[in-house]
Structure 1
Amino acid sequence: MSSRRLKIVLSYDGTNFFGWQIQNEGRTVQGVLEEALSKMHKKAIRVTAAGRTDSGVHARAQVCHFDTELEIPENRFKNAINTFLPGDISIISSVYVDEKFHARFSAKRRVYKYYFTDITGYTVFNRFFCTQIRDIPDINIMNACAEKLKGIHDFTTFTSAGDKNESKIREIFSASFYKEGDLTVFQIEGNAFLWKMVRSIVGSILKYASLESGAAGFDEALISKDRQMAGTTAPSKGLFFHKIYY
């Protein structure tokens, strides 16, 4: 029986997951999804994702692909998978694609959003999905820092020491802060991101926007390629893998 490649878009609440990637111990999104698909197919199924998210990070539109021999109409496949999934993962859409499609390598741009608020906007309903900041810096200064990110740069300063990528060069197409009700949102779009890069950027902008050096200090940190100049990495719960463009 011939197989076809299926592209799925899924959202998940990362609160109770140890990230996307399967690990020896701990509940992961990939592990739960592959277990559900393997039950459907009555054999082991492996999925490939557009990007990996860390422990506690959420996704609004993660993209995956896998090959299937099941004869299920594409618009009904998502509902079939959802019957096997827990409440903190949901398939949004499912569509058959060309066998050359690759969830990771075919992606052109990725968008992340980070949500935070002060005590006035922090509630029992958003406590797992945004970070409480005691003193939020001036949004104009934060946006001046964000402007420094645009273009092609070496982002060594803003990645974890454990990042395995040989090249730390990435291209950022847009980066800005804006208000959404009581929440402050940081949105960044780039061709790809390094391990913990977005959370490190958020923590570093919060640091430098609170200092007299402001955007100039942040730019100096970026250029330095020195991780010691970065701010404290922002908590994972405020970060969402928002969208992927192909």
Structure 2
Amino acid sequence: MRRIKLTIAYDGTNYAGYQVQPNGNTIQAEVEAVLARMHGQRVKVVASGRTDARVHAKGQVLHFDTHLQMPADRFVKALNAMLPDDIHACSAEETETSFHARYGAKRKEYRYVIRQDVDPFRRHHAVTVTYPLDVERMRQALAHLVGTHDFTSFSVTKAEVEDRVRTIYEAELVETGEEMYFRFVGSGFLYNQVRIMVGTVLDVGRGKYEPRDIERMLAEKDRRVAGITAPPHGLYLWNVNYEKVD
């Protein structure tokens, strides 16, 4: 058996998330269905992590094992011929059988896109914020999130993991004309962590909290002290890196 590392992009608008579930179509189900047609049997794919309903990806990484002998890069053309238009195979390469899309990830990058004017053509891909925002205050708040912290206050109360310590290497706000996006690079992220961080920093931008309140929220380790959870459709899993972090 050969192991293939596959990178895909998808528009999550019409999906109930990445992971297979009883109710609602998912990204994983679509990819596995195409691979099953190619192999004549079920092929399980493993992802770097799951994304929620309406969340998008530019660089989701999967792995799967195959007995097919065709060159790895031909999987891209074959998959794209059968996948729906809102899921796209970007690249494929053969890798060592020890490679694991989830457990081997060293860094992940998420982006969250917002805009301050209504655009019906972007309604599924960016979150419209109609109230004034102080960008400098938001950047000050983001600086407090960088580093290794217990992010209990920025995760759902009933998280599946007990260890909520994560490292954020970069946190920035980038302005790009009519839109802006939050960019987070970290060792890994808790369930809803990025959306809660974004919601909280937006609350700083509108004057509900001070930038330094982020330090207090981290110290209190209580979800109730942080801000709102931002909507899912502004969130993108942008990149997954497997290189060792110095």
TM over 0.5: yes
SS at match of 1:214: coil
SS at match of 1:215: coil
Aligned length: 242
Does residue 153 (structure 1) correspond to residue 188 (structure 2)? The answer is no
Does residue 217 (structure 1) correspond to residue 224 (structure 2)? The answer is no
Structure 1 equivalent of residue 40 of structure 2: 42
| Structure 1 residues 54 and 12: alpha-carbon distance in aligned structure 2, compared to 1, 3 A threshold | same
Point out where structure 1 has 5 or more consecutive residues left out of the alignment.
Answer: none
Structure 2 equivalent of residue 196 of structure 1: 192
Residue identity (%): 37
For 2:156 and 2:82, the matched residues in 1 are separated by 35
Deviation at 1:125, TM superposition (A): 2.1
Structure 2 equivalent of residue 181 of structure 1: 177
**Contact 1:136 1:206 survives alignment (8 Å):** no
Structure 2 equivalent of residue 8 of structure 1: 6
Tell me the C-alpha RMSD between the 2 structures: 1.1
**Which residue identity does 1:197 align to in structure 2?**
Q
| Structure 1 residues 238 and 212: alpha-carbon distance in aligned structure 2, compared to 1, 3 A threshold | closer
Point out where structure 2 has 5 or more consecutive residues left out of the alignment.
Answer: none
| Structure 1 residues 198 and 136: alpha-carbon distance in aligned structure 2, compared to 1, 3 A threshold | farther
Q: Identify the range of structure 1 (197-206 vs 135-144) with the bigger mean alpha-carbon deviation.
A: 135-144
For 1:213 and 1:229, the matched residues in 2 are separated by 11
Deviation at 1:212, TM superposition (A): 6.4
Deviation digits for residues 17-58 of structure 1 (CA, Å, limit 9, x no counterpart): 111111111111111111111111110110000111011000
Deviation at 1:182, TM superposition (A): 0.6
For 1:14 and 1:46, the matched residues in 2 are separated by 20
Deviation at 1:171, TM superposition (A): 0.3
Deviation at 1:135, TM superposition (A): 1.5
For 1:99 and 1:141, the matched residues in 2 are separated by 47
For 2:120 and 2:218, the matched residues in 1 are separated by 36
Structure 1 equivalent of residue 203 of structure 2: 207
Deviation at 1:231, TM superposition (A): 1.2
Where does 1:4-153 land on structure 2 (aligned, <5 Å)?
4-119=2-117, 122-153=118-149
For 2:207 and 2:135, the matched residues in 1 are separated by 13
Q: Which runs of structure 1 show a deviation greater than 3 angstroms over 4 or more consecutive aligned residues?
A: none
**Contact 1:154 1:168 survives alignment (8 Å):** yes
Deviation at 1:104, TM superposition (A): 0.8
For 2:30 and 2:16, the matched residues in 1 are separated by 11
The structure 1 residue matched to 2:235, chosen from 235, 239, 244, is 239
